[in-house]
Structure 1
């Protein structure tokens, strides 16, 4: 499809700055922040940008293609949209906006269990092409029912999350009342009143809620009881015994997200998973951990021929995508970048952000003389 790029916002940083002006402070800080002292969120992007590529200017060269095959489907670019919780709080109706943009551009959209649109609605928008990311329920009955819904919605890929055994310690969210249960302080109300576009869109689309989880919530559940419900309903810590029944039940492709070590990658292979996403949850879980690019290089080198290796966390541009693919990932995902886009530009934000990333990535391939995504590794400068 024709690429749409708003010339006023030619970079992700431009979108981030615009988003900061358009959404309440508590929502922006939830989106933008990491955990503890933000050490790992800074390392994520900084260390990706230490990766260098070599250009071969005198080689014969044809027009590059961004098309990338993954799990039997050929996508139009080697990147997709990461699962993000509470998307409708950040910008009203944003899961549907981004899902539609992903579908139009033929890239994958991953729906989070704890975002603000349902499996069924996103499947309708994407004609069954959206992936679904599962937070592991404490009860097998609930786990099985959610998985059956994802299968009925024709989700081709189920993503299970292993990097949230406990919620990250996020001082901003605690100060802003976005720890569970959420609360609207006087400060938060004043922030809303200062952001009329956000407030009007929230009135239009309604107060965001956990739409996928609504069938399992007790009727009349109030905000003061929501935190207790979530704690009782989900157990983020995965192990082999929890993964095995999911592998047995799920007939589509199964991906483990949050892998940060060779040991966990090896376990995923042993359990018959189809792919892994090397990730540190965008720097939101373990401030003392490594950036995502460091374990990616080791894991892809050791296990890239045994399982599909993908990566998210820290990517903010087309050059970052190129660096990640050159470092060994077969595919990449971005989260914050798309939320900056939709928060800045509303309905056009998803289309703009995808177009921007495609344009930047193609420019890198033109510059280094790379015709195919899978050949980017040939341009990697190995230190």
Structure 2
């Protein structure tokens, strides 16, 4: 058997181990952590992995596994994509561009965060307009409309509106490391960075990470404290029906709400005319006392499937995890940390590596249970 990736890093665990050695400690902890005691971060994955699949080895209808999945009129090569992640270039320099290029090459969706470190125009250029954009809702209508106009002009067709950050999660390590708002540069961070020479060289090559999409609206002479004040005063994470209606009326493409975590919000998303929802709890970074995403998927998938596209992130880390999520009614999945671990471990090669590895893992599960298409995985779940 031949493997289209570096077999020295043939598992997520090996990639995490390598990334931890290459990334400054503050950057790795920002990526790896949840909120409070990390309970919901871990619950997401542990409850997902309680889902069992039952093979049908004598299935006469099985021919071969086909991973292709259609979503919003686009046929993707696999039923998973790359979640939006903030401050990607802090964790590994140029990370959003590395991952956007890999997603485009392998024909999977890449979602760009408003608060990551590449501009929406640059990512659109790299993906020929095929990326998705995640909107942190601005307080000012003119700013929201300007961002949406830029997205339309750049060719984005899918807009994700973030709903699950009405307030910032309590993350003790980020507070200690100075990565809360306003961010701070301290001796601990500098010393940790200097201990990772490859990371430092990449920073010198690509520049100090900044909120590239938002630079248009910032004073070029802002200091660190002023930057934090600007971000806090610019965005309001709390959505309401009026704000959503204004976006729905203006946005001509597909509209997705990201952060659905209850039956009540799912019903409201359908009522407000969203084309899709991503069931998510922000990777367990917001509410430690919350349910796992797979529990919510199980609750609402049968009730709302057919009325709205049901997708999922938070807790999905591997190819078998993708299969488990689909078997419970999700129609598509996204991952954030998994892709960032790979880039932190392997740099420019990380995006291609992890996509190839995930595809091989997912295909193996389909072939093992004798399932033809991702949509049919629901027939193989142990109820």
How far, CA to CA, are the matches of 1:156 and 1:326 in structure 2?
Answer: 28
Partner of 1:24: 24
Partner of 2:51: 51
1:317 matched to 2:310: no
Partner of 2:246: 245
TM-score (norm 2): 0.98
Instruction: Flag structure 2 segments of 5+ consecutive residues without an equivalent.
Output: none
Larger deviation, residues 335-344 vs 213-222: 213-222
How far, CA to CA, are the matches of 1:336 and 1:9 in structure 2?
Answer: 16
How far, CA to CA, are the matches of 2:206 and 2:140 in structure 1?
Answer: 32
Partner of 1:216: 217
**1:79-228 equivalences in 2 (<5 Å):** 79-228=80-229
Give the secondary-structure state (helix, strand or coil) at the position aligned to 1:288.
Answer: coil
Partner of 1:39: 39
Cα contact 2:181–2:232 (8 A) shared by 1: no
**1:337-356 equivalences in 2 (<5 Å):** 337-356=338-357
How far, CA to CA, are the matches of 2:42 and 2:130 in structure 1?
Answer: 33
How far, CA to CA, are the matches of 2:220 and 2:18 in structure 1?
Answer: 39
Cα contact 2:26–2:177 (8 A) shared by 1: yes
| CA shift for structure 1 position 219 | 2.8
Give the secondary-structure state (helix, strand or coil) at the position aligned to 1:8.
Answer: helix
How far, CA to CA, are the matches of 2:54 and 2:213 in structure 1?
Answer: 46
| CA shift for structure 1 position 3 | 7.0
| CA shift for structure 1 position 13 | 1.2
How far, CA to CA, are the matches of 1:188 and 1:86 in structure 2?
Answer: 15
Instruction: Flag structure 1 segments of 5+ consecutive residues without an equivalent.
Output: none
Structure 1, residues 156-210: CA drift from partner, whole Å, max 9, x if none? 1000000000010000000001111222211111111110100000010000000
Structure 1, residues 212-250: CA drift from partner, whole Å, max 9, x if none? 000011231111111111111000000111100000000
How far, CA to CA, are the matches of 1:103 and 1:118 in structure 2?
Answer: 16
Cα contact 2:49–2:321 (8 A) shared by 1: yes
How far, CA to CA, are the matches of 2:20 and 2:185 in structure 1?
Answer: 19
| CA shift for structure 1 position 4 | 2.7
How far, CA to CA, are the matches of 2:50 and 2:222 in structure 1?
Answer: 48
Structure 1, residues 94-124: CA drift from partner, whole Å, max 9, x if none? 0000000000000000000000000000000
How far, CA to CA, are the matches of 1:70 and 1:295 in structure 2?
Answer: 21
| CA shift for structure 1 position 316 | 1.0
Which runs of structure 1 show a deviation greater than 3 angstroms over 4 or more consecutive aligned residues?
none
